[in-house]
Structure formats: structure tokens, C-alpha cells
Amino acid sequence: MNIETKLGYNVFKIDKERHITINTDICNTKCTDKTCLYICPALLYKLDDEGDTIVDWEGCLECGTCLLACEPGAIEWNYPRGEYGVQYRTS
């Protein structure tokens, strides 16, 4: 079974509150390689028309990779509130 099929079993219960917030001042001034665009396994980080980094937090797999890879302070990352977020299923 390929990874796309496995990820397709996951269920996302979306919260209205964001659990990932980008500090664009730090992201745009200190980060030159935009690691988040490539490191996120769900590919949720993108550049908008102005070149600012944006995140589609609703599809987050909650792995925390972006928190470890990004410049300190560039993102604020928390787990979603109880009963929200990704629910991993095997089939």
C-alpha cells in the first residue's frame, strides 16, 4: 500500500482555532532557504503572491517537523485542542 493510500484513511476534525501561526517578520528576514516548503510531509507550506509563507494548517499531520526545522520563533505550533486534529486510521 502506498503512502497516499495510507494517508487517505486519516480523518481530520477541523478546529476553528489555528494551531500553527507564522511570524512573517522572522520568516521573511532570517529564513533564506524556506525549509518548511520542503520538509513538511503533508506539503502544507506555500508562498503566496507576495512571496510570504502561508500554511494550510487544516491538513496538519501534527508531526512537529516544521517546528524543528524552522528558524526559532518563526512559527508558533501547538497541538490542536482536545478531540480536534488528525485521527490516524489503518483501514
pLDDT of residue 83: 84
Residue 40 and residue 1: Cα distance in Å, rounded? 21
pLDDT digits (tens, 9 = 90+) for 50-61: 988 999 988 899
pLDDT digits (tens, 9 = 90+) for 19-44: 899 998 998 889 888 999 999 998 99
* Domain assignment of residue 44, yes or no: yes
Mean pLDDT of the chain, nearest integer: 87
* Domain assignment of residue 5, yes or no: no
Report pTM: 0.81
pLDDT of residue 72: 92
Residue 43's nearest CA partner among 66, 17, 10, 68 is 66
Instruction: Please return the burial class of 29, using the count of CB atoms within 10 Å of its CB with bins 0-12, 13-18 and 19+.
Output: exposed
* Domain assignment of residue 9, yes or no: no
CATH number of the domain residue 68 falls in: 3.30.70
* Domain assignment of residue 90, yes or no: no
* Domain assignment of residue 59, yes or no: yes
Residue 44 and residue 25: Cα distance in Å, rounded? 20
Cell numbers for 71, please give them: 528558524
Cβ partners under 8 Å of residue 75, min gap 6: 20, 21, 22, 23, 27, 36, 55, 66, 67
pLDDT of residue 13: 85
* Domain assignment of residue 65, yes or no: yes
pLDDT of residue 86: 85
* Domain assignment of residue 40, yes or no: yes
* Domain assignment of residue 28, yes or no: yes
Count of all residues that appear for the chain in the document: 91
How many structural domains are present in the chain? 1
Domain residue limits at 72 = 21-82
